[in-house]
Amino acid sequence: MKILHVAAEVFPLVKTGGLGDVVAALPPVLAERGLDARLLLPGLPAIRDGVRAQKKIAEFGPAFGAASIVIRHGRMPETGVQAYVIDAPWLYARDGNPYVGPDGQPWPDNLQRFALLGWVAAHLAFGEFDPFWTPDILHAHDWHAALSLAWLASHPAHPVRSVYTIHNLAYSGDFGLDAHAELGLPRRLFTHEGLEFHGRGSFMKAGLVFADRITTVSPRYAQEICTPEFGCGYEGVIGARRNALTGILNGVDYKLWDPTTDRYSDKLFSARSLDGKAACKAAVRASLGLDAAPDAPLAVIVSRLTDQKGMDLVLAALAQLLGRGMQLAVLGEGDPAIQEAFVVAGRLNPGRVAVHVGYDEALAHRLIAGGDLILVPSRFEPCGLTQLYGLRYGTLPLVRRVGGLADTVADASHENLQADAATGFVFDEASADALGAAIGRAADAWADRDLWRSLMQRAMARDYSWGTAAKKYLSLYRGLMAQ
């Protein structure tokens, strides 16, 4: 079975969040199970330069605002997964974030940039560009790749089946309806039954309407997006396709995220031998300028600093966290006001709060290895990966009961403790008081070191590897091919 995964980012070349990790990890796991899984990626500078052994297989243009477009075929570094790269410098040769410019606003030509990604994906599926390989299934990831499914729908006789994975419904990619001529799509697709969404065109709706199967990155998120609270206005569209919707929990690449082998970790450790974790914690404190306080728990954040991630709640509950004797280390960037508020908090609480603005893969590993508690108090969370990393490293997640967080973290309630099921701390209401209460429960648990150690070891024993998810995707693909 041949699968073409289409996405805008992939670790380790371009990563802004969990999407890049998923796109990097899933194809090689599928390949281990006998599938021919390949990638199609936009030629962003790091991708253009990072994919190895590239050979030109096609050239065309002008199209989508670019004078010349070259399709190259190569292999991903490390995994060797085969990848197609769209080399269109006019559209992709830009430093920084792949989606937004230096002003924090979406690139004004994102329509053309990601329409090209979808157009090339569809034409690869039609058997163009690579005469030696045609996919059985086109698997599009998030809004950036969703127009590929509209182009498939414009050729209803094609044999290629399709899957669309929603990694985050809140980012949907909208555009003016007058773009139909520019995109070369039939006008009949720009209706309420097609791409039209509240008077605009929508990449996201293309995926929701035209994919043969829709998946989300956790079972609970698949349920939540059918409701007005989490549906972002698409709940009616999604509800109408509920029979095509499946929630498949993301996995973790334990070749990269494992405390017994982590190349970035200051000291290796395991559930049976936890001494190295204390060394990791000491090293993080020293490098970030935090006080050496062996008896104080270290809470960490590795996140986009946005309201969606509940970072405003952390700021509001910071006094309670510090009042319970905890320290806080933050890695991330995002909303300028929230980002600056964390910087100020670090300045006002030297030795107790440390903030690193930006993203640093090595520091992310070091924080998760050295932390005692990882805070993920999201207002909504399709899956979340940092809580899964935390579990693996015995850094207990403190999360809100939403999406994949609810699917993966069992609260240290009396019932769960009695059943030997607890792996972290969970709260419900998106408020500083509810978060503060959960922090208080975590501080109480920390005071009982035998209890905390048992929570750590139980968390580290949980298996969220990609094997389980791959089996579910394989079943989904086989079901499609059997139709």
Contact 262, 268 (CB under 8 A): yes
Running DSSP on this structure, what letter comes out for residue 189? Answer: G
Q: Evaluate the omega torsion of the peptide bond into residue 12 and state whether it is cis, within 30 degrees of 0.
A: yes
Class (C level, CATH) for 275-461: alpha beta
pLDDT score recorded for residue 396: 98
Q: Is 482 exposed, middle or buried (0-12, 13-18, 19+ CB in 10 A)?
A: exposed
Q: Average pLDDT per run of 10 along the chain, which is 483 residues long?
A: 98 91 95 96 97 96 94 96 97 91 90 97 95 96 97 88 96 88 87 92 96 97 97 96 97 94 96 94 97 94 96 98 98 95 98 95 97 98 96 98 98 96 98 98 97 97 94 96 88
pLDDT score recorded for residue 102: 86
Closest to 36 in 3D by CA, of 166, 144, 130: 130
pTM of the predicted model as reported, rounded to 2 decimal places:
0.93
Q: How many CB atoms lie within 10 A of CB 43?
A: 25
Distance of alpha carbon 394 from the chain centroid? 21
CA dihedral 17, 23, 28, 30 (to 10 degrees): 120
Closest to 82 in 3D by CA, of 2, 166, 165, 167: 2
pLDDT score recorded for residue 135: 97
User: Using CA atoms, how far apart are residues 374 and 326, in angstroms rounded to an integer?
Assistant: 12
Grouping H, G, I as helix, E, B as strand and the rest as coil, residue 330 is strand
Q: Is 390 exposed, middle or buried (0-12, 13-18, 19+ CB in 10 A)?
A: buried
User: Using CA atoms, how far apart are residues 218 and 404, in angstroms rounded to an integer?
Assistant: 5
In the chain, which residues fall in CATH 3.40.50.2000? 2-251+466-482, 275-461
Q: Which CATH superfamily is domain 2-251+466-482 in?
A: Glycogen Phosphorylase B; (3.40.50.2000)
pLDDT score recorded for residue 357: 96
Which residue do the tokens 């590239």 mark?
A: 54
Proportion of the chain in helix, strand, coil states, percent, rounded to 5: 40, 20, 40
User: Using CA atoms, how far apart are residues 457 and 5, in angstroms rounded to an integer?
Assistant: 36
pLDDT score recorded for residue 179: 83
Q: Sheet holding 327-332: strands in order across?
A: 353-357, 327-332, 298-302, 373-376, 396-400, 425-427
pLDDT score recorded for residue 476: 97
Contact 96, 102 (CB under 8 A): yes
pLDDT, one tens digit per residue, over 140-176 is: 999 999 999 999 998 877 899 999 999 999 999 999 8
Tell me phi and psi for residue 15, to 5 degrees.
-145, 125
Closest to 266 in 3D by CA, of 346, 342, 371, 180: 371
CA atoms within 13 A of residue 456's CA, in its CB half-sphere: 28
Question: Which residues have CB under 8 Å from 306's CB, separation 6+?
Answer: 334, 335, 338
